C-alpha cells in the first residue's frame, strides 16, 4: 500500500509517518513530498491509496494540490492536515474531494479516526486487494 505524505516540514512528515506505521496493514510504502508540485509528480507516478496533505505550503497550495489530484480520477483517500481548522475552509475542501480533515498535530484520537475512515474507504471502493 502506497502512502504519500505532503508537508513542507520534514519534522511534520516524520511525525505523520510514525503515526501511520500503526495502521493495521501489513505492507506500507511511504513516499514524501515537501511541496504541492512534488506531490502531484509523485501522485501521478506512484498512485498512492492514501495522501496526507498539508494545506499551507509555499508554491502550489494544498487546496490546489487536492483539486489537481482529484482531476486525475485516481482512487485515493485524501486527508487534509492543517492548523487552519475554520469551518468554511473545511467545508470547501470537502467539496473539492477531501475525505477527512485533521488538525495539526495528529493525536491518538485522530489516528484512530483516520484508521477507521480509511478502512471504510477501502471497503467502499472495493480496494481490499490493494492491502
Confidence of residue 33 (pLDDT cuts 50, 70, 90): very high
Contact partners, residue 69, CB within 8 Å, separation at least 6: 39, 40, 43, 51, 76, 78, 97
**Bridge-based pairing state of the strands 50-54 and 29-33:** unpaired
The C-alpha atoms of residue 37 and residue 131 are separated, in whole angstroms, by 27
Phi-psi region of 97 (alpha: psi -120 to 50; beta: other; left: phi over 0): left
DSSP state of 84: -
- The confidence band for 129, taking pLDDT boundaries of 50, 70 and 90, is low
Average of pLDDT values for 83-90? Answer: 84
Is the whole model's pTM more than 0.75, yes or no? yes
In sequence order, what are the beta bridge partners of 30?
3
What is the CATH architecture of 2-130?
3-Layer(aba) Sandwich (3.40)
Amino acid at each position: 500500500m502506497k502512502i504519500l505524505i505532503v508537508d513542507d516540514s520534514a519534522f511534520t512528515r516524520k511525525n505523520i509517518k510514525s503515526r501511520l506505521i500503526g495502521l493495521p496493514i501489513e505492507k506500507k510504502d511511504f513516499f514524501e513530498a515537501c511541496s504541492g508540485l512534488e506531490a502531484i509528480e509523485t501522485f501521478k507516478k506512484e498512485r498512492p491509496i492514501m495522501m496526507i496533505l498539508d494545506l499551507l505550503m509555499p508554491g502550489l497550495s494544498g487546496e490546489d494540490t487536492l483539486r489537481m489530484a482529484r482531476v486525475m480520477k485516481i482512487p485515493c483517500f485524501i486527508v487534509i492536515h492543517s492548523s487552519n481548522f475554520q469551518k468554511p475552509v473545511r467545508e470547501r475542501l470537502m467539496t473539492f474531494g477531501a475525505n477527512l480533515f485533521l488538525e495539526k498535530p495528529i493525536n491518538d484520537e485522530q489516528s484512530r479516526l483516520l484508521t477507521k475512515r480509511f478502512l471504510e474507504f477501502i471497503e467502499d471502493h472495493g480496494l481490499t486487494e490493494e492491502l
